[in-house]
A and B are shown apart, each in its own frame.
Chain A
Amino acid sequence: MKKVIKYVIIDILRNKIMLAYTLFLLVLSLSIFSLEDNSAKGLLGLLNIILIIVPLVSIIFSTIYIYNSAEFIELLVSQPLQRKTIWMSLFTGLASSMSLAFLVGAGIPVLIYQADITGFMMILIGVILSVVFVSIALLAAVKTRDKAKGIGVAILLWLYFSLLFDGFVLFLLFQFSDYPVEKLMVAVSMLNPLDLGRIMILLKMDVSALMGYTGAVFKDFFGTQAGMGLSFFVLLLWAVVPVWLSIRRFKHKDL
């Protein structure tokens, strides 16, 4: 398994797109921090990167990578290796290289310009989201045989998590505006890893505004140790469950 992971990581790191992604993150975050006169606005720009670009690149790159290494996977399958091992190695390789790219690209500027609790939270959430979207990509890739369709599904999933889901929530909020839905919203936010990650960062960043009535509900929940633990657990579930489902599918897949 180690050999396969090693091979996957080396293969990905040699990839020019990966290098470009790392450089892109690095240049973007450095320029965001150095252009803005107050670092709060820099953090805000970085938040948008974490919530939009990181998931997008993670999910699309991973999907394409899986499709492109179809022949390699077939070769591995013909060897005396468990299918589970092969798939887990692929996942580990992808997840660790995406996280590495994020750590180098965004982590270093954050450590330089904003090495406080908010900054660390951002790095942590960014890494977790990278892993989560690799995991979702694997599920999307294993479910569809056609490459074009698979990439389409991946893009749609990204669109769903970053835009459609929130739009839907906003719609529901206005439909149910006469009801006390604050607590329900905490549960709803668990259904989207991006929302969960965003709220956890905001609790460190916009504390003043979140002390308002509804914000206080979030603060009371996510701000406590138990709530924090639960949200990290749910984020972990978001990383584990899709990959687990995809293993089950891959085991019986006719390649």
Chain B
Amino acid sequence: MRNLLCILCVSFFSYAANARVITVGKNKSYTTITEAIQRSAGGDTIKVFSGIYHEKNLVINKPIVLMGIDYPVLDGEHRYENISIKSPGVTVQGCKVIQSGVSSMEDFAGIKIYNTHDVIIKDNILEDTFFGIYSQYGTNCTIQNNRISAYGKEEQQSGNGIHCWKSDSMRIIANKITGHRDGIYFEFVTHSIIWRNTSEKNLRYGLHFMFSSNDAYITNIFRNNGAGVAVMFSHDVKMFHNYFEENWGDAAYGLLLKEISDSYIENNRFVKNTIGIFMEGTSRIEMNNNVFERNGWGMKVQASCMDITVTANNFIGNTFDIGTNGSLVLNTFNGNYWDKYDGYDLNKDQKGDVPYRPVSMYSVIVEKNPPAMMLFRSFITTLLDKTEKVLPSLTPENFKDIAPLMKPLRL
């Protein structure tokens, strides 16, 4: 063990001692990056000065730092993958990566990590790439502070902004992604964190989770994406302090949960979505301190969900608070604030004395017969809603908040 440590120390210092800085650019030691990489050794820093570089496919197969000064442009000419990282310990920083190849056979990316670990990709600008940053079997990599934009028109012609596949311990921090198919895509990614990213105006999902467990996404903004955010077939996902805004359309959800279990949704804001949260086949979810504001439907909880606990959330100004498709209710709603609640509080404990039923008769009718939306807010539907409140017949009997709050929570 001690020997090993010694070897490590020695090799580290020898590295540090030998590390050189190689400059690339006009009137610098090299004019192409490819050449500079060939001549470099592990631990070197390659400084690339501004200019336009046509490197075709730049392969980084040594643990070096590729550092752009004043955003040198790496042009993929719509044919090549700009940067392929095939060695651990690589840092790519401060480059402007544009026009990667587009292919339906291969997943070309602006920057792609192949089967390696400890890679840092930060402060880059990616424009008009097919996939933006792609991690394939990446481990312990950091993707930070990149600006990724594409101008895709169709889903088939466009890749994902940050795409992680079979990766582990990834850190996706403070990136801005727009115009791709999915802003951030996770498939078989574990123990990773997505933090402080902004993902907006993407064609499909702002964030797309598939089979990715033990991940957290915190303080992100997902705005105006084609279909919002989807989290599917995963467990132990933590969703805290995110903004889900203005995801409009028939199949657009602030947050779509499908086959999710053992997860936490806390302190998020759902504003102006057609559907705030749509849940299907979801179980054992804790939902606390979220705000649902001005959505078409605050939540749609399908009857296939169970053991979902919804406590201490604000529902304000939603057209419908909750929609559901059956009469089976295996979830708990308790102590939320509903602005439509018109009960009373005689003992002044700040909790309403009569339960609130968040599923209105009319939302049940619309669920069964969508064209009935035409009669929305008409006199007859108001009458039906009032009668239903007195004598529940169509709405699920057990779907109720037994201790609704009288005042909104400060969130």
Contact = CB atoms under 8 A, between A and B. Distances in A.
A177 B274 contact: no
Contacts of A195: 374-375, 378
Interface in B292-345: 294-297, 316-317, 319-320, 339
Contact of A208 (B295, B369, B373, B382): B295
Given A167-B380, A177-B368, A214-B374, A208 B294 contact: yes
A208 B371 contact: no
Interface string B363-406: 00100111111111111111100000000000000000000000
B198 interface: no
Contact of A211 (B248, B320, B369): B248
Contacts of B376: 198, 202, 206, 209-210
Interface string A81-94: 00000000000000
A40 B379 contact: no
Interface string A197-221: 0110010001111111111101000
Interface residues of B, number: 34
Contacts of B381: 166
B87 interface: no
Contacts of B106: none
Contact of B319 (A163, A167, A185, A209): A209
A213 B370 contact: yes
Interface stretch (A41-49, A64-72, A116-124, A234-242): A41-49
Contact of B274 (A40, A174, A185, A211): A211
B51 interface: no
A123 B379 CA distance: 19
Nearest to A172: B371
A230 interface: no
Interface string A13-49: 0000000000000000000000000101100100110
B296 A51 contact: no
Most chain A CB neighbours (cut-off 10 Å) among B252, B275, B377, B382: B377
Given A209-B319, A213-B370, A215-B373, A166 B296 contact: no
Given A177-B368, A214-B371, A206 B379 contact: no
B378 A51 contact: yes
Interface string A150-167: 000000000000110011
Contacts of B317: 38, 40-41
Contacts of B249: 211, 216
Query: Which one of A170, A188, A198, A209 has the highest number of Cβ atoms from chain B below 10 Å of its Cβ?
Result: A209
Contacts of B374: 169, 173, 185, 188-189, 195, 199, 214, 218
A interface secondary structure, majority: helix
Interface string A175-192: 001000110010011000
B250 interface: yes
Nearest to A213: B250
Contacts of A4: none
A182 B371 contact: yes
A117 B320 CA distance: 22
Given A163-B379, A167-B380, A38 B272 contact: no
B199 interface: no
Contacts of B380: 163, 166-167, 170
A32 to B, nearest CB: 15
B242 interface: no
Nearest to B375: A166
B273 interface: yes
A47 B377 contact: yes
A56 to B, nearest CB: 11
A202 B377 contact: yes
Interface in A130-149: none
A108 interface: no
B248 A208 contact: yes
B404 to A, nearest CB: 16
Contacts of A100: none
Contacts of A182: 370-371
Given A182-B371, A185-B371, A166 B378 contact: yes
A40 B373 contact: no
A245 interface: no
B378 A198 contact: yes
A44 B316 CA distance: 14
Contacts of A213: 250, 370
Given A40-B317, A206-B296, A213-B250, A162 B370 contact: no
B369 A174 contact: yes
Contacts of B377: 44, 47, 198, 202, 206
Contacts of A51: 378-379
B250 A211 contact: yes
A244 B242 CA distance: 59
A52 interface: yes
B255 to A, nearest CB: 15
A162 B274 contact: no
Interface of B: 248-250, 252, 272-275, 294-297, 316-317, 319-320, 339, 365, 368-383
Given A209-B274, A209-B297, A218-B374, 17 more contacts: A38-B339, A44-B377, A169-B375, A173-B375, A182-B371, A188-B374, A194-B378, A198-B377, A206-B377, A208-B273, A209-B296, A209-B373, A210-B376, A211-B250, A212-B275, A213-B370, A218-B373
